[in-house]
């Protein structure tokens, strides 16, 4: 979340950034936070003055009792009782004001980086670069939702029977392809310097709040009300929370983690051709990369993460493009996001397979994730993450782009992982 000091000292920049993200109540919310902060400071002054006077009277009472002036001591005790009540009242009011400030800060999205383009929707995103050649398919080419039935590798009807729509069952070569991709992505992450971790796939409210899923995205997560736990929408949540309430020694920076997890998203209200088949699921597999680094290094780290994701797509032989998201299409917590999309030949459109984002101090402020350089004051770190990669649309593109009349030829890099080179 944003810091009150930033709102106070850089109000114009904050308002401009909120406007770029098309946050409608920015001026009103910022003004309300600053008013509450002024009230908080006044209450703190009142509280501290009453506490200081009470401490001084305590010393005087001790001296009077020692000298035998019990009457004088009793008079001062009356004033001490009044001061204790003033202190309690100020403390209670301070607590309420701080809660109100916190709730308003939770509503404010992160400020966009200066390089973020203006715009409201995906059509306004900026093309950074494209790579690869779109394949020409043979005359009988089919979209992946037909191919998976033809080769009996993924079964949506069984998933509906067991759970519901959006929970497919992977079978035979389909299941082996899933496992192969996970292992390939993890091996590549490890070779790139990421430490593999295996985190829980359910988190508590504090963890979901720390990374910005709450209170912004309650409706997108599956929630167990009895235990008040959430199924994760991405490994970003548990992996980043490994460093909640930590002061990280500077010599351990940057932290670079990779994790494979299933991911769960309710995706309420999703329907239509654009979400058919593997294009949108309630449960899917993903390898996530996370970095925590010093502020001055975070944008170089983001470029490195994007380059790593591109290397995966290149090794898979998938045509892709990199987009810089505009203000209106960015995530709530992000300062700068690059989307990577692969070309789906049978569908004739681009499919998003990864987002790589720098959150700057937004998550770190919620996490209280800090470092201390040269023995000085603690400072907030920058957090980043990216999908490297999400499987469903990668699988869709691999099936569609590599189909032939005799089966689906898999990229060579997967042959040893799968134990076969061809589906069908």
Among residues 386, 154, 135, the alpha carbon closest in space to that of 256 is found at 386
Token pair, residue 111, equals: 């400020």
Instruction: Tell whether 321 is in a known binding site.
Output: no
Predicted confidence band of residue 50 (pLDDT cuts 50, 70, 90): confident
- Alpha-carbon dihedral of residues 47, 49, 52, 54, nearest 10 degrees? -70
Model confidence over 360-371: pLDDT tens digits? 999 999 999 999
354 annotated as a binding-site residue: yes
% of residues, the chain, pLDDT over 90: 84
Q: Residue 275's pLDDT is what? A: 78
Q: Please check if 353 is assigned to a binding site.
A: yes
Q: In the CATH scheme, what architecture does the domain 4-107 have?
A: Orthogonal Bundle (1.10)
Residue of 353, 302, 330 whose CA lies nearest to 119: 330
The pLDDT tens digits of the residues spanning 195-231 come to 999 999 999 999 999 999 998 777 889 999 999 999 9
Q: What is the pLDDT of residues 137-196, one digit of tens each?
A: 999 999 999 999 999 999 999 999 999 999 999 999 999 999 999 999 999 999 999 999
Domain positions in the chain = 4-107, 122-423
| pLDDT category of residue 274 using cuts at 50, 70 and 90 | low
Tokens at residue 161, please? 């029977």
How confident is the model at residue 333, as a pLDDT?
96
Q: What is the pLDDT of residues 293-331, one digit of tens each?
A: 999 999 999 999 999 999 999 999 999 999 999 999 999
pLDDT at 110: 98
Residue 337 has pLDDT above 80, yes or no: yes
334 appears as a binding residue in the annotation: no
C-alpha neighbours within 13 Å on the C-beta side of residue 115: 13
Q: Which residue has the tokens 């397979």?
A: 353
Asked if 333 contacts 212 with a C-beta cutoff of 8 angstroms, the reply is yes
Say yes or no to pLDDT of 273 above 90. no
Instruction: Supply the pLDDT for residue 66.
Output: 87
> What's the pLDDT tens digit per position in 10-30?
999 999 999 999 999 999 999
Phi/psi class of residue 267: alpha, beta or left (left: φ > 0; alpha: ψ in -120 to 50)?
left
How much is the pTM?
0.93
Rounded mean pLDDT, 266-279: 73
> Rounded to whole angstroms, how far apart are CA atoms 4 and 1?
9
pLDDT value for 412: 98
290: β partners:
257, 385
pLDDT at 241 over 90: yes
396 vs 87: which has the higher pLDDT: 396
Is 157 labelled a binding residue?
no
Residue 125 annotated in ligand binding? no
Name the band, by pLDDT with cuts 50, 70 and 90, for residue 268: low
CA angle centred on 192, ends 365 and 234, rounded to 5°: 45
CB–CB of 142/403 below 8 Å?
A: yes
Separation CA 134–CA 345 (nearest Å): 7
Nearest of 160, 161, 169, 282 to residue 231 by alpha carbon:
282
| Amino acid 331: pLDDT | 95
Confidence of residue 249 (pLDDT cuts 50, 70, 90): very high
Instruction: Tell me yes or no: is domain 122-423 CATH 3.30.930.10.
Output: yes
Q: Which two tokens stand for residue 81?
A: 């009782």
Quickly tell me which residue has 């403390």 as its tokens. 91
385 is in an annotated binding site: yes
According to the annotation, is 352 in a ligand binding site?
yes
| Residue 267 assigned as binding residue | yes
Structural contact between residues 66 and 40, judged by C-beta atoms closer than 8 angstroms: no
Find, among 347, 218, 340, 217, the residue nearest to 272 by Cα.
347
Integer Cα distance of 242 and 210 in angstroms: 11
Each residue of 107-135: pLDDT tens digit?
999 999 999 999 999 999 999 999 999 99
Average model confidence (pLDDT) across the chain: 95
């Amino acid at each position: 979340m944003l810091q009150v000091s930033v709102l106070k000292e850089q109000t114009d920049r904050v308002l401009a950034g909120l406007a770029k993200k098309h946050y409608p109540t920015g001026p009103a919310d910022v003004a309300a936070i600053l008013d509450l902060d002024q009230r908080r400071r006044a209450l703190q002054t009142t509280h501290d003055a009453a506490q200081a006077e009470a401490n001084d009277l305590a010393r005087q009472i001790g001296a009077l009792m020692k000298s035998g002036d019990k009457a004088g001591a009793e008079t001062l005790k009356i004033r001490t009782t009044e001061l204790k009540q003033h202190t309690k009242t100020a403390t209670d009011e301070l607590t309420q004001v701080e809660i109100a400030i916190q709730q308003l800060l939770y509503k404010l999205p992160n400020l966009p980086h200066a390089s973020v383009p203006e715009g409201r929707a995906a059509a306004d995103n900026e093309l950074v670069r494209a790579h690869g050649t779109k394949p020409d398919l043979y005359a009988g080419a089919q979209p992946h939702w037909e191919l998976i039935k033809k080769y009996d590798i993924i079964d949506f009807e069984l998933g509906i029977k067991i759970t519901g729509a959006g929970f497919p069952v992977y079978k035979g070569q389909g299941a082996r392809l899933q496992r192969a991709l996970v292992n390939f992505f993890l091996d590549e992450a490890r070779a790139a310097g990421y430490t593999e971790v295996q985190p829980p796939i359910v988190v508590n409210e504090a963890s979901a709040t720390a990374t910005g899923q709450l209170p912004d995205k309650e409706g997108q997560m599956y929630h167990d009300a009895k235990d008040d736990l959430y199924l994760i929408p991405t490994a970003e949540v548990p992996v980043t929370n490994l460093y909640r309430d930590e002061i990280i020694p500077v010599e351990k920076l940057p932290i670079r983690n990779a994790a494979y997890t299933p991911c769960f998203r309710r995706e309420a209200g999703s329907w239509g051709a654009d979400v058919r088949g593997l294009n949108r699921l309630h449960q899917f597999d993903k390898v996530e990369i996370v970095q925590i680094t010093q502020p001055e290094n975070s944008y170089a780290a983001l470029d490195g993460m994007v380059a790593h994701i591109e290397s995966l797509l290149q090794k898979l032989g998938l045509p892709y493009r990199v987009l810089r998201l505009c203000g209106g299409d960015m995530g709530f917590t992000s300062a700068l996001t690059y989307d990577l999309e692969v070309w789906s030949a049978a569908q004739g459109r681009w499919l998003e397979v990864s987002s790589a984002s720098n959150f700057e101090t937004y998550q770190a402020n919620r996490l209280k994730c800090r470092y201390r350089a040269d023995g000085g004051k603690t400072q907030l770190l920058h957090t980043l993450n990216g999908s490297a990669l999400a499987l469903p649309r990668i699988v869709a593109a691999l099936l569609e782009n590599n189909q032939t009349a005799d089966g689906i030829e898999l990229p060579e890099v997967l042959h040893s992982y799968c134990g076969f080179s061809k589906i069908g």
